[in-house]
Structure 1
Amino acid sequence: MSKVVTVSFLIIICITCIEIGSDAQPQPITGIKKTPFTYICDPARFESIKVKLSDFPYCDAKLPYPERAKDLVERMTLPEKVQQMGDLAYGVPRLGLPLYEWWSEALHGVSFIGRRTNSPPGTHFDSEVPGATSFPTVILTTASFNESLWKKIGQTVSTEARAMYNLGNAGLTFWSPNINVVRDPRWGRVLETPGEDPYVVGRYAINYVRGLQDVEGVEYHRDSDSRPLKISACCKHYAAYDLDNWEGNDRFHFDSRVTEQDMQETFILPFEMCVNEGDVSSVMCSYNRVNGIPTCADPKLLNQTIRGDWNFHGYIVSDCDSIQTIVESHKFLNDTKEDAVARVLKAGLDLDCGDYYTNFTMGAVQQGKIAEADIDTSLRFLYIVLMRLGYFDGSPQYKNLGKNNICNPQHIELAAEAARQGIVLLKNDNGALPLNTGNIKTLALVGPHANATKAMIGNYEGTPCRYTSPMDGFYAYSKVINYAPGCADIVCQNNSMIPAAIDAAKNADATVIVAGLDLSVEAEGKDRVDLLLPGFQTELINKVADAAKGPVTLVIMSAGAVDINFAKNNPKIKSILWVGYPGEEGGRAIADVIFGKYNPGGRLPITWYEANYVKIPYTSMPLRPVNNFPGRTYKFFDGPVVYPFGYGLSYTQFKYKVASSPKSVDIKLDKDQQCRDINYTVGTNKPPCAAVLIDDVKCKDYKFTFQIEVENMGKMDGSEVVMVYSKPPGIAGTHIKQVIGYERVFIAAGQSAKVAFTMNACKSLKIVDNAANSLLASGAHTILVGEGVGGVSFPLQLNLNH
């Protein structure tokens, strides 16, 4: 039997209830009409829907959120409960509970991704809100290595999201950011991520999540279940997820065979940081299996680790249709639909992005596979988050946000600044850049991205406020531009357009070639098969450079690494920039850098491998060298590269000096504390106490502080990213080095600055052994500051004393 109920809420909508416990699907939703939503427990709202507010303790603001959530859930019938467990929660009209769409995205700006066909609008754009600020994709923002910028972008995105919520154009729960480590350069989703270093990825997660979630004045609270939220963020995709679709292997079937050592050291570290230090309110489990078990069905990964070990306060959600994937793709234990629902619910999955919970949870209860109490637990987690968001009681501090807080000049300028800070200068022979506007009467602008617009904003995008293409940006500096794309598109499958590009360069005072990749080559669901530029792009670049009258600058727009050794070694190509996917203001940022209005200071957040790196099967998961395969990421790969992790040049020169440094860190051990044996490399003297478990050390008591003096030796103001690594003593099977800190500092020409670092010894000097023990190893560690020949270092002796 069906019954139609009309509900007043973010939209006015007709929802058709269904009989559950069968294969029946919720009926399409029609009659959508937007109306701004205030908050659930608004007395006027209850009066309008003819429900008595005083009958419901869940609306009593004097009670703690857990008590209120418990009251709300206990008032529901079982059929009503299961209707709230999908991303489209149908609400309970008789209790005054409206329908809610949980799925929205805000990866690098408020996105239109997440709205299902025929569902009520989650986040969407219309004539009233035509767009939102589109920042650079995450990989380029991370290249700034500026944590205050990461957080400020998060704060700006959440302000626009709140404004859109007030206008009826958004929800409050956003499934961002993506914090998977980039293990392999072929991964199609590199653009969404903060790169290959797990510590940097974790720091990005903390800062962006804090920017999205924190309410000023209550950033920290003794009880996380009471801490208010601006919007709700979600760290995803947990865990060991970094393959989409490569040579017949896809994420819906892939089993990530991962050592516990790599799990602890790399794959789950950013998530632990996101929960413990970012206090994120949601975590999303991934499609893949880990060592045979689907992540969304693994109680060790969910209940034991996230909720237990990390003391998580929030809800765990599946990647969309993951439960269906368990049944139909993984065919895990030959589970029925009810088996799968019961398995993931008991493992700790609270919300299904999909309709398996909605359609099959009732049947799982009726078949005795789960208890109603299991459902109640998850629903309470969900409603506590919504209460923290002010969804039930309102958020007075945000009620005045509106259209003026979306796409305003300050936000657009921040998008341009983020792009400028992330751009990486890879080559600059003889100071070819910046170009002097007085010497450039005619500029040749060629390449398939020379007039890019939508390509600049990548995926998980929204509708941007506007586009400033590279051509738009360069018109601010040169009134005469010879434009020739050279290729019909990025895949560049024929070379018929190259002659026109050659002609454009022959008659110009300088040439800028804008080439690279786009979502047709690297994207969700599409991994790369090589590390080369597509089609005839290499031929285009070489022929244009050979014919050019003036200096040639190559601009690479991409997320993943590209083997451009041909351009690096070509003396006709004087300079190279990597610009990621730079967002809606990308063209302005590129032009500002090339013409010297901005001095580039970005650093690569991933290693740029040579093309032959792809001889290692993408499906080989170990980070360390194994089976004659090279290691992965800068931490374990020591072969030749095109450009290393952390690489980036400037228009000025910086000189480093160690201003002060400690000689040792002395760890005091209890008399009965056990020393651990570890394997040292040949020629390394083994100390009497080689290592101890970090869990046995009072880590907060052991810190070391040092200062680095950085001097700008050139004639141009600029920003320098001071990157700090630790290198362990000669221990077999551990990392070559690892990032332990960084600071972006602005230094005027001819000036110097002292940059101070205080490090926790347990975090900065930690190694993880092959049994997944986190250890402090005694001996001569080395602290490395800076990159290559310009860097400095000092020894740091770690002593373990009983």
Structure 2
Amino acid sequence: MTLDQKLQQLTGAKPETLPDLPECFGGRHVSGIAELDIPTFRITNGPVGLGQNDCVSHEVAKNVLHMPGFGDISQAYSHSSSAKATALPSAVGAAASFDPAVGAMYGDVIADEMRALGLHVFEAPGVNLARLPILGRNMEYFGEDPYLSGAMAVAETKALQSKGLIAMVKHFVANEQETNRQTIQENVDRQTLRELYLLPFEMAVKDGKVAAVMCAYNYVNGQSSCENKEMLTDVLRRDWGFTGYVQSDFFAMKSTVATLNNGTDHEMPLPLHWAPAKIKAALDSGEIRLSRIDEALERRYTQAFKLGIFDRKLARQPIDVAAGGRKAREIGGRATVLLQNNGALPLRHDLRSLVLIGKASQVYAQQAVAGGAVVGEPMGAGGGSSDVVPHYTVPPIEGLRNALKELGNGQASVKLILVDDANAIATIDGQSVDFAQALAEAGKADAVVMMAGTISEEGADRATFTDKSGKQLAAPASLGSGLDWYTGHSNTITTKDGDNRARNSGTVAMINRLMAAPSTSGKPMAGKTVLVLKDNAGVAMPATLVGTKGPAILEAWFPGQEDGNIVADALFGRINPSGKLPVTVPFEGKGFLDHVTTSQFPGVISPDGKVQTVTYSEQLAMGYRWYDANPSGTCAQAKGGNSCVAFPFGHGLSYTSFSVGRPALVKGKTRDTWQVEASVTNTGKRQGAQVLQSYLSLPASANSYGAKQPPRRLVGFARVELAAGETRKVSIPLDAKASHHPLGVWNEKAHQWVIPKGRFTVWLGVSSALPDLKMAGTIER
């Protein structure tokens, strides 16, 4: 290759009509070199399907190529005319299955459609953690636990790469905030990085053999992610043995020389910092060596050769729309979590009347929901990386009506009630009435289904700021995690007095009034009412809704294109919910966000106003670990559980019941392996699945290495499907040498993982809550 050819291959191409695929105008590729048989290398965004996949309408070219200053170039990457694909349920929903087989199914759908559309690289899985419940991209990730996130990422990665495609784990690393993501400085001590935020990446590298890693926008401990030698070279390559390549997030790079020398191999989407003139100048000055350019290309080419990309002719064909829809529906069913049930679920198949209730200003009861959904706009019109344009969507009302018809009850009345933010005016199937009449309609109905949630997407967190700089909160961060808070466009930093200021939907007040309304159907409201949640990663729950006087609550996350069918399947019992929470659901006013400091979010501003720094001062006390450790001193551990927690991490009910026998810790064949075992019995009358979860408590000596260890950490899980009355023995492996270091603590002084001395306690149960766990045994080291 000539130097010019090498430099052309180092970066993405300017938006163009693809010579190999003239029907596509795209900007997510590296142009091929025909005389060297180097194919065009095509990249699609993720993680919830093929969003922004290098093929938009040629009409976009007019705006991009023929306007001063190169036009609105962003349209080449994210226009809603993008080639259509299956809009899957959100990644956090897939994680709620607690089943790597679902992660593999997720990867299979994506891989099949990538092959059909002539794509090579999937910019996912995303494994950043739900440190902040209001993080705008939580729906793209796998929740708050690093081991669960890593296990799902490994399964998805293996599925993708088994079909000759490149998986790209992202965003490396500590990218747990969207607010000012391009400039935010994240300070995270090395032990916390290793034990939490780096762990799923390490699993993806070691167990998934992931071919690519994406460096992020943020700074980590003083260095920009894409020029962070400690992370990209010392940790990723030297410590973990990563042999793939590192690509920048779009427009994430901040320099020319440091990015290339410190470990980034590919700039996307344009030759900006790695423009030929800049690289040649660095070569001439000796700041960059030609051998480093060769190495960067070899790393990427090696993965492309290994996965057969050089051997496949670039072509597109129709995707299997029906097959994608079926799998999306199955994944969505496995994602649903039954949080509580006061007798309303499953809904009777012979009911005479059902009302579906939601807010007129919200999408949940009106449209199929994905990240960034906006009332009145089709799916694919917003959502950032999760912006998939589907061939069809199934709205909630359509799903409910179709389900009743298929169950032989097509004559049942199903009405849609939409309520204004003030809870004064409503519409019933489009006819305007006052809210009192809507309450009466709900009172006489056989079943009431309410839908609510939280919309979010890439570009902003669910928080309100004093101005558009996003540097100072205008209200407590916790407001964004509630059901009432919303904005017109969730991808924009909201301000107290700006055009996109936060609003109050009055959702909680509406639900409380519905629950207090008199029922004239023969069943109390709590016994016939369901709240379906659709949100990015759980929502802080009002105490009025939790308990025997509240509605049944079903968590559906963002269901994607099959929304209506997925929810109807769960409501009518066509599937038996078996999902478990991959995040903790706190009571309103009692969550981590109610105790967060400015230094934890959105960051402290330097005296000159130029640098905003976030410090992960909670260290290992993140997610359920924070609630268990109780650093705020407000979360009492009572017999019924944690007083701050409405529904704990790992919680999920079923339409059947289970009993778990006495667990045991059985020694394995080698010194460092064990099996955590117990029998599980389906004591109910219908088939269902239970997820057993294994947690581990470290000895007190573990705290001597720096950060205080939380009371428990998840170290294993297993999903078991059981017929009514069936009993099966479940065995969960525990291997001290596994890539997630279940017994390990990071010793920064020695720069290695160590197993502390003392007694380890192994727990087994059905959630992270202490009342749901039984001691399986202890390990002495």
TM-score range, shorter chain: 0.7 to 0.9
On the 8 A contact 2:28/2:44 being kept in 1, the answer is no
In the alignment, the residues of structure 2 paired with residue 496 and residue 238 of structure 1 have an alpha-carbon distance, to the nearest angstrom, of 48
* Structure of higher CA gyration radius: 1
Of the three residues 443, 454, 460, the one matched with 1:506 is 443
Question: Are 1:463 and 2:376 counterparts?
Answer: no
Alignment-derived partner of residue 726 in structure 1: 696
Of the three residues 497, 514, 533, the one matched with 1:544 is 514
Cα distance change of structure 1 residues 136 and 798 upon mapping to structure 2, 3 Å threshold:
same
Any residues of structure 2 matched to 1:103-252 within 5 Å, and which?
103-112=43-52, 117=64, 131-165=84-118, 171-215=119-163, 230-245=164-179, 250-252=180-182
Q: TM-score, normalised by structure 1?
A: 0.74
Partner of 1:725, secondary structure, is: strand
Of the three residues 314, 339, 361, the one matched with 2:279 is 361
Q: TM-score, normalised by structure 2?
A: 0.76
Question: Are 1:378 and 2:292 counterparts?
Answer: no
Cα distance change of structure 1 residues 133 and 455 upon mapping to structure 2, 3 Å threshold:
closer
In the alignment, the residues of structure 1 paired with residue 28 and residue 87 of structure 2 have an alpha-carbon distance, to the nearest angstrom, of 25
Question: Are 1:436 and 2:348 counterparts?
Answer: yes
Question: Are 1:798 and 2:779 counterparts?
Answer: yes
Q: 1:207, CA displacement in angstroms?
A: 0.3
Q: Deviations over 1:68-117 (max 9, x none)?
A: xxxxxxxxxxxxxxxxxx9643444554545x354312412222256695
Alignment-derived partner of residue 524 in structure 1: 459
Cα distance change of structure 1 residues 795 and 176 upon mapping to structure 2, 3 Å threshold:
closer
Any residues of structure 2 matched to 1:307-322 within 5 Å, and which?
307-322=237-252
Q: 1:461, CA displacement in angstroms?
A: 3.0
Of the three residues 472, 475, 481, the one matched with 2:414 is 481
Cα distance change of structure 1 residues 122 and 444 upon mapping to structure 2, 3 Å threshold:
closer
In the alignment, the residues of structure 2 paired with residue 524 and residue 126 of structure 1 have an alpha-carbon distance, to the nearest angstrom, of 17
Alignment-derived partner of residue 219 in structure 1: none
On the 8 A contact 1:346/1:374 being kept in 2, the answer is yes
Any residues of structure 2 matched to 1:363-762 within 5 Å, and which?
363-394=281-312, 402-403=317-318, 405-408=319-322, 410-429=323-342, 431-447=343-359, 448=362, 449-455=364-370, 459=384, 460-475=386-401, 476-477=403-404, 479-487=412-420, 492=421, 496-497=425-426, 499=435, 501-519=438-456, 522-528=457-463, 529=477, 530=479, 531-533=481-483, 534=485, 535=504, 536-547=506-517, 549=519, 550=525, 551-569=528-546, 572-612=549-589, 613-614=592-593, 615-617=595-597, 619-620=599-600, 625=618, 631-638=621-628, 639=635, 640-658=644-662, 660-662=664-666, 701-731=671-701, 732=703, 733-762=708-737
Partner of 1:112, secondary structure, is: coil
In the alignment, the residues of structure 2 paired with residue 372 and residue 285 of structure 1 have an alpha-carbon distance, to the nearest angstrom, of 22
In the alignment, the residues of structure 1 paired with residue 581 and residue 123 of structure 2 have an alpha-carbon distance, to the nearest angstrom, of 26
Equivalent position amino acid for 1:159 in 2: D
In the alignment, the residues of structure 2 paired with residue 592 and residue 547 of structure 1 have an alpha-carbon distance, to the nearest angstrom, of 27
Cα distance change of structure 1 residues 767 and 112 upon mapping to structure 2, 3 Å threshold:
same
In the alignment, the residues of structure 2 paired with residue 27 and residue 644 of structure 1 have an alpha-carbon distance, to the nearest angstrom, of 48
Q: Deviations over 1:265-290 (max 9, x none)?
A: 01111111111110111001111111
Cα distance change of structure 1 residues 123 and 146 upon mapping to structure 2, 3 Å threshold:
farther
Q: 1:391, CA displacement in angstroms?
A: 3.0
Identical-pair percentage:
26
Moved more, 701-710 or 188-197: 701-710
Equivalent position amino acid for 1:176 in 2: A
In the alignment, the residues of structure 1 paired with residue 439 and residue 346 of structure 2 have an alpha-carbon distance, to the nearest angstrom, of 23
In the alignment, the residues of structure 2 paired with residue 205 and residue 576 of structure 1 have an alpha-carbon distance, to the nearest angstrom, of 28
On the 8 A contact 2:41/2:120 being kept in 1, the answer is no
Cα distance change of structure 1 residues 631 and 706 upon mapping to structure 2, 3 Å threshold:
closer
Alignment-derived partner of residue 757 in structure 2: 778
In the alignment, the residues of structure 2 paired with residue 297 and residue 255 of structure 1 have an alpha-carbon distance, to the nearest angstrom, of 14
Q: Deviations over 1:161-186 (max 9, x none)?
A: 10111xxxxx2112111111111212
Partner of 2:177, secondary structure, is: coil
In the alignment, the residues of structure 2 paired with residue 136 and residue 602 of structure 1 have an alpha-carbon distance, to the nearest angstrom, of 13
Partner of 1:754, secondary structure, is: strand
Q: Deviations over 1:130-184 (max 9, x none)?
A: 632221010011101111121122122101110111xxxxx21121111111112
Equivalent residue pairs, number:
644
Equivalent position amino acid for 1:105 in 2: N
In the alignment, the residues of structure 2 paired with residue 252 and residue 120 of structure 1 have an alpha-carbon distance, to the nearest angstrom, of 16
Cα distance change of structure 1 residues 483 and 744 upon mapping to structure 2, 3 Å threshold:
same
Q: 1:759, CA displacement in angstroms?
A: 1.4
On the 8 A contact 1:546/1:572 being kept in 2, the answer is no
On the 8 A contact 2:153/2:204 being kept in 1, the answer is yes
In the alignment, the residues of structure 2 paired with residue 446 and residue 619 of structure 1 have an alpha-carbon distance, to the nearest angstrom, of 37
On the 8 A contact 1:780/1:796 being kept in 2, the answer is no
On the 8 A contact 2:764/2:776 being kept in 1, the answer is no
Moved more, 714-723 or 438-447: 438-447
Aligned Cα RMSD in Å? 3.3
Cα distance change of structure 1 residues 91 and 541 upon mapping to structure 2, 3 Å threshold:
same
Structure 2, unaligned stretches of length 5 or more? Answer: 57-63, 66-72, 372-378, 405-409, 427-433, 464-476, 486-503, 520-524, 601-613, 629-634, 636-643
Equivalent position amino acid for 2:400 in 1: F
Moved more, 584-593 or 194-203: 584-593
